[in-house]
């Protein structure tokens, strides 16, 4: 999190919209997945949008999986809108999408980037064996940064900080995120972390953990907490040496796409 900067005097109330920021839904094709109808729920991260997950979802959809990438409340609208939403809004949307997938598929695997990783870990802790597998990319459940201790006060004094988006090594790639980081909303995210960390031992589903070697958004506090506390005996860590935080759009995206496809086939076979 960056230091506060002066708020623009004429800050726009909306952000540029694009078709890639819309939710993604792809129907399952069981004839391509051994006759079973397999669903995949993918969640984008904080201040991002479905744009960061669309190529991953489209790759899995082409293999026959039923894919849903919801747009979390307050995202792909404006950072001011996001500042009116909280962790409970985002978990409710993920639960809604998951229940809809479960109603129409034989098994469901969940995946998420950054805050999306925290959301699907929360889901796996709460839903137990309803979740066939968990895929996380640079998930955020903790931070070593000391300035976050000021958020309870700063969020009432400064509406936003500079953006945390577009941490991508590959040139010319746009995450389609917000130009500002809303403080009330991000504080709500961080307030959810202690309860999630306490409940990590409830996660027993198979898990694949994709981790960028150089991440300027999520530091190294989250990985040991997750990998050492979950109860899963089927855990795979995959390093992403040529990517920054938004690895689903970065140089190692093919590693995520291919690795997750193999993981889904194995845990739902």
| Active site residue ranges | 114, 215, 245
For 165-191, give one letter per residue: b (16+ CB within 10 A) or e: bbbbbeeeeebbbbbbbbbbbbbbbbe
Nearest-CA neighbor of 233 among 193, 268, 195, 267? 267
CA distance readout (Å), 74 to 77, 85, 103: 6, 6, 26
The 3-class SS string of 228-268 reads HHCCCCCEEEEEECCCCCCHHHCCCHHHHHHHHHHHHHHHH
Check if the beta carbon of residue 238 is closer than 8 Å to that of residue 188. no
The length of the chain, given as a count of residues: 269
Check if the beta carbon of residue 267 is closer than 8 Å to that of residue 132. yes
CB atoms < 10 A from the CB of 105, how many? Answer: 22
Which H or E run includes 38?
A: strand 38-43
- Angle separating helix axes 54-62 and 253-268, nearest 10 degrees: 50
- Bridge-based pairing of strands 38-43 and 66-69 is parallel
Nearest-CA neighbor of 188 among 150, 156, 152? 152
3-state helix, strand, coil in the chain (%, to 5): 40, 15, 40
């Amino acid at each position: 999190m960056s230091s506060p900067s002066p708020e623009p005097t004429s800050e726009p109330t909306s952000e540029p919209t694009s078709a890639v920021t819309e939710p993604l839904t792809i129907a399952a094709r069981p004839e391509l997945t051994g006759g079973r109808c397999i669903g995949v729920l993918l969640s984008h991260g904080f201040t991002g949008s479905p744009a960061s997950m669309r190529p991953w979802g489209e790759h899995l959809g082409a293999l026959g999986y039923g894919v849903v990438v919801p747009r979390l409340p307050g995202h792909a609208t404006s950072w001011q809108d996001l500042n009116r939403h909280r962790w409970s809004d985002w978990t409710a949307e993920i639960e809604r999408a998951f229940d809809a997938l479960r109603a129409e598929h034989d098994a469901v695997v969940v995946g998420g980037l950054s805050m999306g990783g925290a959301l699907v870990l929360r889901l796996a802790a709460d839903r137990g064996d309803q979740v066939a597998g968990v895929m996380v990319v640079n998930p955020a459940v903790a931070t070593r940064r000391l300035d976050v201790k000021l958020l309870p006060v700063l969020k009432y004094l400064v509406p936003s900080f500079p953006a945390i988006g577009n941490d991508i090594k590959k040139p010319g790639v746009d995450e389609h995120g917000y130009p500002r980081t809303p403080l009330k909303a991000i504080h709500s995210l961080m307030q959810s972390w202690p309860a999630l960390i306490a409940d990590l031992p409830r996660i027993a589903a198979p898990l694949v953990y994709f981790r960028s070697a150089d991440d300027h958004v999520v530091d190294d506090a989250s990985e040991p907490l997750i990998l050492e506390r979950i109860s899963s005996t089927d855990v795979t860590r995959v390093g992403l040496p040529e990517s920054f935080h938004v690895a689903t759009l970065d140089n190692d995206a093919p590693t995520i796409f291919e690795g997750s496809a193999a993981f889904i086939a194995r845990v739902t076979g």
